[in-house]
Copies of this chain bind each other. A is one copy, B any other.
Amino acid sequence: MNQPTPTAAPAQRRQRADGRRSRDAILDNAARLATVEGLEGLSIARLAERTGMSKSGLYAHFTSKEELQLATIERAQEIFETEVLRPARMKPDGLRRLWALSDEFLSHLERNVFPGGCFFAAVGAEFDTHPGRVKERIGVFIEEWVGELVAAAAAAQRAGELPADPDPEQLTYEVDALLLMAHAAYTMYGDPALLERARVGLARLLGPRPE
């Protein structure tokens, strides 16, 4: 982050290159494994075995399991950003952006970016009844995601690409419902036709894809 002054503020432990690589490998595995085993069901021993480390060696990178869970969420957020948000943001704001966000989301399900579908849907369902820092972080990310959808919907309405009738929050709720359903159905049954149903529903909500 910052190594400000040689003299003042020794601050956080200076990191070694191999240490960062290990930590990255741990969190990559953790983010993917958490969509299968859950963030709580993910055990240190199993994660260590999968990463090819000892249990204590892995654990030394974190001060507690909760810190590991929070770091895993952060890593999952980066993956989601790369696989879904960044590509969608290349489309111009408005209806095109809204369609792109939806399509990229469905695509990342179809490409099995996470083996257990949408990371935040999976761990959100796990922690919705477990108040604490983990649930809070998940809730914040979901609000950001919804905020991005709402912004695109509002822009689309301002541009006259969508009727003003269902307000952006309501429209986004319905779009997000289809995306959540796609995650749940596809993860449970594995049939890509269940993703196509979401696309059909989106077309009924937003009209046909622009371009």
B-binding residues in A (CB < 8 A): 35-38, 40-41, 115-117, 121-122, 124-126, 128-129, 135, 139, 142, 166, 169-170, 173-174, 176-178, 180-181, 184-185, 187-189, 194, 197-198, 200-201, 204
The reply to whether B129 and A36 contact each other, CB–CB distance below 8 Å, is yes
**How far in angstroms is the closest Cβ of chain B from A75?**
19
Interchain CA distance A200-B188 in the complex, whole Å: 27
How many identical chains are in the complex?
2
> Which of B35, B126, B139, B177 contacts A178, CB < 8 Å?
B177
Can you list 5 A-B contacts with CB-CB less than 8 angstroms, sorted by A residue number?
A: A36-B129, A116-B129, A139-B189, A173-B197, A177-B180
Given A128-B188, A181-B181, 13 other A-B contacts at CB below 8 A? A36-B129, A37-B129, A40-B41, A125-B126, A126-B126, A128-B184, A139-B189, A142-B188, A166-B204, A170-B200, A173-B181, A173-B185, A180-B181
Question: How far does the alpha carbon of A128 sit from the alpha carbon of B178 in the complex, in Å?
Answer: 18
CB-CB nearest in chain B for A176: B181
